[in-house]
């Protein structure tokens, strides 16, 4: 698994990637923490290399959902949260 926990590839530097795309095939999964843009160069290249991916949007929403669950004991509306964040970022 490769986890990008750097700002490399974040808006406005969307053409950058922290890893040479030719090296991605050795990873089963690539996890992105960047959610702006929604689809980073790293994610595009990871998919092309056959890797499973977890997007920055997914990471962002799931972290928030776990915080809601931990702090309130309530089940968070993950689908609604995802739609709201995606809609906001796409504007």
What predicted TM-score, i.e. pTM, was given to this entire model?
0.87
CA dihedral 4, 7, 10, 15 (to 10 degrees): -80
Q: Does domain 2-90 have CATH number 3.40.50.1860?
A: no
How many whole angstroms separate alpha carbon 62 and alpha carbon 44? 21
- Among the listed residues 66, 72, 9, 32, the one whose alpha carbon sits nearest the alpha carbon of residue 81: 66
Q: Is 34 exposed, middle or buried (0-12, 13-18, 19+ CB in 10 A)?
A: buried
pLDDT by residue for the chain (91 residues), tens only, comes to 999 999 999 999 999 999 999 999 999 999 999 999 999 999 999 999 999 999 999 999 999 999 999 999 999 999 999 999 999 999 8
Torsion, CA 9, CA 15, CA 13, CA 59, rounded to 10: -30
């Amino acid at each position: 698994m490769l986890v990008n926990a750097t700002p490399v590839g974040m808006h406005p530097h969307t053409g950058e990637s922290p890893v040479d795309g030719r090296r991605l095939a050795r990873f089963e999964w690539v996890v992105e923490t960047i959610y702006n843009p929604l689809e980073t160069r790293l994610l595009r290249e990871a998919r092309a290399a056959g890797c499973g991916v977890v997007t920055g949007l997914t990471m962002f929403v799931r972290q928030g959902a776990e915080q809601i669950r931990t702090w309130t004991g309530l089940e968070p509306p993950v689908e609604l949260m995802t739609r709201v964040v995606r809609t906001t970022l796409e504007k």
